[in-house]
C-alpha cells in the first residue's frame, strides 16, 4: 500500500510551477517545502556564489536565471529579498512587463503587507504577503522547522483561502495580520528573536571571560527554562536582581562590565530599566526598592537623571 501511494504522489501533475527571486536563506527553503507538497520549482535567481550554492543544495536541478525569466517560467513567484529592496524590485518587474496576469506573487517580508505589491497588482498579479516567523539557516533543516511555524499573512479578502492553503502546504499555521499592523508585528518579532541572539552571544562571551569552558552547555538549560516560563507566564516569570530590587548586585554587575566588557554596559542598563518598569508595573518589584535600583543603573551610565516623568518608574525620560 505504501509503495502504491508513494508512486501516485510522485506521478501526479504538479499544481503550480514555482519560482524564487532572491536565493537567500528563506526562498529556497520555502520552495523546497512547496515541492514536498506537490508543486514544481522551475527557476531561481541568485547573484552571489553563496546563493547559488544554497539553491543547488535545496533545489537541485533547478536552473538559476535572471529575475524576469523566473517570472516568465513560474505560476507562483516567491520574492525573498531584503525588505529595503522589495519595493523597487516589484516596481521594476511591473514596469518591464515581467509580471503576468493571474500570476501569484508572494513576498516574505515581515515589514510589508500586500500593498507593496500594488504595482504588480495593477499588472494583473495576485498579491500575497506570507512571512514565516522563523529564523533560517539556509540549509535543509529549515524545511523541517517550517512544521508548525506561524506565518504572518496579509492578503486581499478574495485571496485569503489561497494564502491559507499555501501556508498549510508548507507545514505552517496562518496568522492574519492587518496591513496597518505589519510594521508593529515585525518589530515585535525582531525584538524577541533578533535581539535574543545578541543577548545570548554577549552572555556566552562574558562566561568565557569568566573562565567557563562550555558556556553553551551552561546557558542551554537556563535559557530554555526562562523562555518556557516567559511564554507560559509572561511578566510573572521575571526573576533575578532587577526584579528583586537588589541594587548592590546590579551595581557590582555594572562595575565588572565596565572593566571587562564596556560595550555590553549600555545593553545591560537598557534591559535592566525595561525589566524594572515591567516588574514594578506587575507588583514584582517593591516601590521602596526601585529608587536605589534606578540610582545604580544611572550610576552605571554616568547619568544622574533618575527623575524622568514618563513610565511607571520614571525611567522613560533617561537616555537608553
Residues 33-59: pLDDT tens digits? Answer: 999 999 999 999 988 889 999 999 999
List C-alpha distances in Å: 149 to 134, 145, 263: 7, 7, 34
The overall pTM is greater than 0.85: no
Mean pLDDT of the region 149-177: 97
Local confidence band at 302 (pLDDT 50, 70, 90 cut-offs)? low
- Over residues 279-305, the mean pLDDT reads 84
In contact, 17 and 33? CB cutoff 8 Å: no
Give residue 111's pLDDT: 96
Return the pLDDT at 301. 66
Beta bridge partners of 107: 79, 129
Q: Please give the average per-residue pLDDT across 260-266, as a whole number.
A: 95
pLDDT at residue 47, as a whole number = 86
Confidence class for position 60, pLDDT limits 50, 70, 90: very high
The answer to whether the CB of 311 falls within 8 A of the CB of 277 is yes
Q: Is the pLDDT of residue 315 over 60?
A: no
Mean pLDDT lowest for which of 38-52, 194-208, 296-310?
Answer: 296-310
- Using CA atoms of 254, 199, 190, 50 in order, give the dihedral in degrees to the nearest 10: 140
Residue owning grid cell 529556497: 28
Q: How far is CA 6 from each of CA 1, 143, 155, 229, 263, rounded to the nearest angstrom?
A: 9, 20, 34, 42, 56
pLDDT at 163 over 60: yes
Average pLDDT over residues 215-238: 97
Calculate mean pLDDT across residues 107-127. Answer: 97
Sequence-ordered list of residues with C-beta below 8 angstroms from that of 185, at least 6 positions apart, any chain: 110, 152, 177
Quote the strand ranges of 136-177, DSSP E. Answer: 150-154, 173-176
Amino acid at each position: 500500500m505504501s509503495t502504491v501511494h508513494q508512486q501516485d504522489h510522485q506521478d501526479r501533475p504538479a499544481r503550480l510551477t514555482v519560482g524564487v527571486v532572491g536565493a537567500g536563506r528563506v526562498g529556497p527553503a520555502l520552495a523546497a517545502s512547496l515541492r514536498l507538497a506537490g508543486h514544481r520549482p522551475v527557476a531561481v535567481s541568485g547573484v552571489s556564489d553563496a546563493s547559488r550554492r544554497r539553491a543547488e543544495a535545496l533545489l537541485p536541478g533547478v536552473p538559476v536565471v535572471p529575475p524576469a525569466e523566473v517570472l516568465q517560467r513560474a505560476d507562483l513567484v516567491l520574492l525573498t529579498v531584503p525588505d529595503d529592496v522589495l519595493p523597487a524590485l516589484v516596481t521594476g518587474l511591473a514596469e518591464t512587463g515581467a509580471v503576468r496576469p493571474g500570476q501569484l506573487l508572494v513576498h516574505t517580508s515581515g515589514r510589508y503587507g500586500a500593498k507593496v505589491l500594488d504595482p504588480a497588482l495593477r499588472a494583473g498579479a495576485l498579491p500575497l504577503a506570507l512571512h514565516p516567523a522563523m529564523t533560517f539557516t539556509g540549509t535543509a533543516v529549515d524545511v523541517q522547522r517550517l512544521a508548525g511555524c506561524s506565518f504572518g499573512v496579509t492578503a486581499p479578502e478574495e485571496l485569503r483561502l489561497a494564502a491559507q492553503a499555501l501556508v498549510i502546504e508548507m507545514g505552517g499555521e496562518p496568522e492574519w495580520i492587518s496591513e496597518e499592523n505589519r510594521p508593529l508585528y515585525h518589530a515585535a518579532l525582531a525584538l524577541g528573536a533578533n535581539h535574543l541572539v545578541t543577548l545570548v552571544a554577549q552572555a556566552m562571551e562574558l562566561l568565557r571571560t569568566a573562565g567557563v569552558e562550555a558556556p553553551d552547555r551552561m546557558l542551554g538549560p537556563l535559557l530554555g527554562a526562562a523562555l518556557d516560563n516567559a511564554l507560559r507566564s509572561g511578566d510573572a516569570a521575571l526573576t533575578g536582581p532587577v526584579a528583586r530590587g537588589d541594587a548592590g548586585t546590579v551595581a557590582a554587575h555594572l562595575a565588572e562590565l565596565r572593566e571587562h566588557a564596556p560595550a555590553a554596559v549600555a545593553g545591560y542598563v537598557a534591559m535592566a530599566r525595561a525589566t524594572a518598569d515591567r516588574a514594578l508595573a506587575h507588583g514584582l518589584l517593591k516601590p521602596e526598592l526601585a529608587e536605589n535600583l534606578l540610582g545604580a543603573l544611572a550610576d552605571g551610565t554616568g547619568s544622574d537623571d533618575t527623575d524622568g516623568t514618563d513610565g511607571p518608574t520614571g525611567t522613560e525620560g533617561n537616555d537608553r
